[in-house]
Amino acid sequence: MLRIIRIITFSLIALTAFYLLVLQPQSKQEEQEVAIGGAFTLHTPEDETVTNDSLKGKLRLVYFGYTYCPDICPTALVAMQQASKNIGTDKISQVFITVDPARDTPEHLKEYAANFPGLVALTGSMEEVKEAARVYKIYFQKATESADDENYLVDHSSFIYLMDADGKYLAHFPHDINAQKLEAAIRAAI
């Protein structure tokens, strides 16, 4: 009996070690290989085309959301705004990409962006928005639970991404990060 227990215990230890040493590093490596960021084409409310290349030259904070999102989106944008101001808007740009192009018309988006000086607010056709979301690994989906056809919610990935001056991924932060912490985290990542 004791022998069987010993064998089982040893097997478990061996299996755990095998998982930790061999399998897990591989899966972590795979995760890192899934690149965040890349080519996209979107438009400002003034109908200027913005691409991954046209934003190069400055660090960039990227957040996907929608203007009818009252709780977390403004919270994230306030943090982005304050952190960028302290780091220097000549060094870092703030990009907001709508996941609700149907309601976030250029006019509406322009009005919203005016609350956040320096914010590059972007929209496009649903296909263009979907492509930008795909390259940034952003999930979004109109919520089934909605007040009516005009007053709906959108579930969406809510990370704030930090990209380098070439548009390559550096780090991501939660939407509710405090502005001071975001600033410190950006400085640490660059």
Partner 1 sequence: MFKPLMLGTLLTGFTLVSASLVMADGNTTLKVTDAWTTPALTKNGSLAVYMHVENTNEMPVSIIGAETGEAEHSMIHQTSTDKDGTSHMEHLMQLDIPANSSVDFKPGSTHVMLMGLKKQFKKGDSFPLTLEVEKGEPVQVQVEVRALEAKNQ
Interacting span for partner 1 (CB under 8 A) from 23-31, 48-56, 118-126, 169-177: 169-177
Cβ atoms 67, 108 nearer than 8 A: yes
Nearer to partner 1, 4 or 33 (CB): 33
Residues 6+ apart with CB under 8 A from 154: 66, 69, 99, 100, 140, 141, 142, 143
| Residue 71 contacts partner 1 per CB under 8 A | yes
| Residue 28 contacts partner 1 per CB under 8 A | no
Nearer to partner 1, 30 or 70 (CB): 70
Task: Give me the phi and psi of 32, to 5 degrees please.
Answer: -65, -30
Nearer to partner 1, 33 or 145 (CB): 145
| Residue 155 contacts partner 1 per CB under 8 A | yes
Which residue in the block uniquely carries the two structure tokens 């069987």? 4
Nearer to partner 1, 56 or 152 (CB): 152
- The site for partner 1 (CB under 8 A) is made up of 67-72, 74-75, 78-79, 82, 108, 111-112, 115, 139, 143, 145, 147, 150-151, 153, 155-159, 172, 174-176, 178-179
